[in-house]
Amino acid sequence: MTGDLLVTTERAVGRLRLNRPQAIHALNRGMCVAMLSALEAWRADLSVEAIILDHLPAPDGDPKRSRGFCAGGDIRLIAESGAGDGAAARAFFATEYRLNARLFTYAKPIVAVMDGITMGGGVGIAMPCRYRIATENTRFAMPETGIGLFPDVGGGWYLSRLPGHIGVYLALTGHRLDGAEAHALGLATHYLPAAALDEAKRRIVAAPQDIAAILSDLSAPPPEARILADREAIDRLFAADRMEEIVAALEADGGDWARAQLATLATKSPQALKVSLKLVRDGVTMPTFEDEMAQEYAVASHVVQRHDLVEGVRALIVDKDQSPRWQPATLDGVSDHLIDQIFAPLPEAEAWTPYGDDHG
């Protein structure tokens, strides 16, 4: 297949290559459907032993067109749909989440190459993979609170399982991790120099049963993980279960780091902050990944037609005035009742399921 996703096989390795450089390979529904179809075809194909998931570099070598693995999902479509009946946005989320769940449960080893920007939906397709390569180019983040959304695609599951309260910190602030930090936190399984990636892929194609040894052999010692220096402050100041208490703790601290976090949080959607905090706190209690995705789909279905998502995308992505007008405008204005409504389960006929008519 040509277009936004290239699906090929090389010897005993299936290749899924994101090919939407003008959008930093952000996922649209067609790409998700194509990946689901390929994974289903390879599932019972004994000639396919492993899969590599990466992005296709720009043919002209322009680094700006090759700067990311996957910048997220098709957020413009989601916002445009949310401004109307929300049907296209819900269809996208349903398919994307089925892809996330399929990757999570896939029996054959998958290698995700997180070289460059890996955010939002890119995190969602990389994290379920057995092998996750970070490089010096990796920029890993879940920045959704800045556009009125929340860290979905399994974010509640993965972030809630990070050490201490780092997951809450990442969910609320959208802080970007570099490759060394992603590796130190276990978000990446291996750290390779970007210059070694072609050799890694070549060796995996030649010997897919030796992936672990190949990646270990080509790994390099990562630089110091800077986020670990902030671990004490993160665990102390992001420990509360209520957003107002986190803000109060940061205000009471008064240090430079705490003031910087307050300034960051002040730019985020108050509704999205409270939703994201609850999502991460709930995530650790979810019995299965599919339970997590069902909850995230219900939350996404309720959030997508609310004001903040449409306004956040307008301010940060469309008009780029960086001045979103959130409703409610303050944390106090986001009631517990509103959060309960957003987290309410969907009627059975509308609820997310792991399988559907999108080849999932």
Give catalytic residue positions: 73, 121, 144, 152
CA 91 to each of CA 63, 276, 352: distance values in angstroms, whole numbers, following the listed order: 33, 22, 10
How far apart, in whole angstroms, are the C-alpha atoms of residue 312 and residue 298?
20
How far apart, in whole angstroms, are the C-alpha atoms of residue 34 and residue 110?
16
**Cβ 115 vs Cβ 63: under 8 Å:** no
Q: Is 47 exposed, middle or buried (0-12, 13-18, 19+ CB in 10 A)?
A: exposed
Q: Is 110 exposed, middle or buried (0-12, 13-18, 19+ CB in 10 A)?
A: buried
Interacting residues of 123 by C-beta distance below 8 A, sequence separation 6+: 140, 141, 142, 151, 153, 154, 155, 158
**Tokens standing for residue 310:** 């449409």
Amino acid at site 143: P
How far apart, in whole angstroms, are the C-alpha atoms of residue 109 and residue 123?
17
How far apart, in whole angstroms, are the C-alpha atoms of residue 185 and residue 248?
27
**Tokens standing for residue 71:** 């910048």
